[in-house]
Amino acid sequence: MFAVFQAGGHQYRVAQGDTLTIDFLEGKSEGDVVSFSNVMLVGGDKTSVGAPFVAGATVEGIVKKQGFNDKVLVFKFKRRKDYKRTRGHKQPVTTIEISGIKL
């Protein structure tokens, strides 16, 4: 069984046991159980398609890690003017493991 759900403006296709990195979930710590009710599709033996969401369907997961993505470097310059700037950014993310899909 698999599901497509929406979290943080992104859509993810998951099955039970999958590990997934999503946008940072505020107020959650490692080991917490999270539930997503914005399920758009549940597939398997019987497929349910929502309009836009499937009523009563939830995707549950366990928070494995709160951390940061790899650093993204931004470099800008102006030619012939001795102007160079380097900036870095590390996006906060949450890693979850899908524990179940309920219909």
How do residues 43-74 score in pLDDT, each as one tens digit? 989 899 989 999 999 999 999 999 999 999 99
pLDDT at 55: 94
Model confidence at 15: pLDDT above 90: yes
Report pTM: 0.83
Task: Report the alpha-carbon distance of residue 63 to residue 58 in Å, rounded.
Answer: 16
Render pLDDT for 76-96 as a digit per residue (tens, 0 to 9).
999 999 999 999 999 999 999
pLDDT at 27: 94
Phi, psi (5° rounding) for residue 50? -90, 165
Alpha-carbon 1 to chain mean position? 19
Band (21; pLDDT cuts 50, 70, 90)? very high
pLDDT at 103: 86
Q: State the burial class of residue 59 (Cβ atoms within 10 Å of its Cβ: 0-12, 13-18, 19+).
A: buried
**Residue 72: which residues within 8 A CB-CB, separation 6 or more?**
88, 89, 90, 91
**54 and 76 in contact (C-beta within 8 Å)?**
no
